Amino acid sequence: MKTTGVVRRIDDLGRIVIPKELRRTLRIRDGESLEIFVENEMITLKKYSSMSDIKEISNNLVNTINQTILKNVIITDRDKVISASSNIKMQYLDKNISKYLEQKLNSREMVVEKDLHDVEIVDGVNESLAFVISPIIMNGDVVGNVVIFSDKEGITDSDVKLASIISSFLGKHIEE
């Protein structure tokens, strides 16, 4: 485990402040949930993602969709790609989403670029893609995105509907 050199006191209410630099580096936003783990005398905090509960189903889903429509599919939580179709796993899985994707996530709107368009899906990787981004909404909160994309052909109306269906299904699945 890596030390930060930061020491903090616990206040009268049992609270501790996580330094702003650490929150920024780890992309921890105000109001976000942290999961608490205890091992021996060590307390570990981890960002909580409700999307982590659906990794297995989302992995099966992206691979099935990819084999059916022959387009790439990724599913993100608010910070990272949590599922990617098997042909692009190495390039996308567990990578931080780009600022662009984060903005689209926060706007809560579906984005469709039917023709090839320069875009950054994950940090530091700029590509020419046709894509659809559909937000995953759980209990009124955006918890991730479904992205269907191709670097060879355009996005069809069927791809747009499919992205919407996947994001609705995952949002409802998480709620249950």
Q: Are residues 42 and 93 in the same domain?
A: no
Indicate if 42 and 76 belong to the same structural domain: no
Read off the CATH number of the domain in which 4 is found.
2.10.260.10
Edge to edge, the sheet with strand 126-138 lists 81-84, 72-76, 141-150, 126-138, 111-120
| Residues ≥6 apart with Cβ < 8 Å to 113 | 119, 129, 130, 131, 132, 155
Contact 168, 144 (CB under 8 A): no
Structural domain including 25 reads 1-48
Cα 22 from chain centroid (whole Å): 20
* pTM of the predicted model as reported, rounded to 2 decimal places: 0.75
Identify the CA nearest to 25 among candidates 9, 47, 48, 52: 47
Q: What is the pLDDT of residues 2-21, one digit of tens each?
A: 777 788 888 899 888 888 88
pLDDT band, residue 99 (cuts 50/70/90): very high
DSSP class of 121 = S
134 in the same domain as 86: yes
Whether residue 109 sits in one domain with residue 24: no
Same domain, 81 and 154: yes
- Would you say residue 50 has pLDDT above 80? no
Domain at 113, CATH number: 3.30.450.40
- How many domains does the chain contain in total? 2
**Co-location of 89 and 145 in the same domain:** yes
Do 137 and 65 lie in one domain? The reply is: yes
3 and 30 both lie in a single domain: yes
- The amino acid sitting at 126 is N
- Say yes or no: 90 and 166 in one domain: yes
Q: Are residues 121 and 167 part of one domain? A: yes
Same domain for 81 and 118, yes or no, is: yes
* 127 and 59 fall within a common domain: yes
Q: Mean pLDDT throughout 70-74?
A: 96
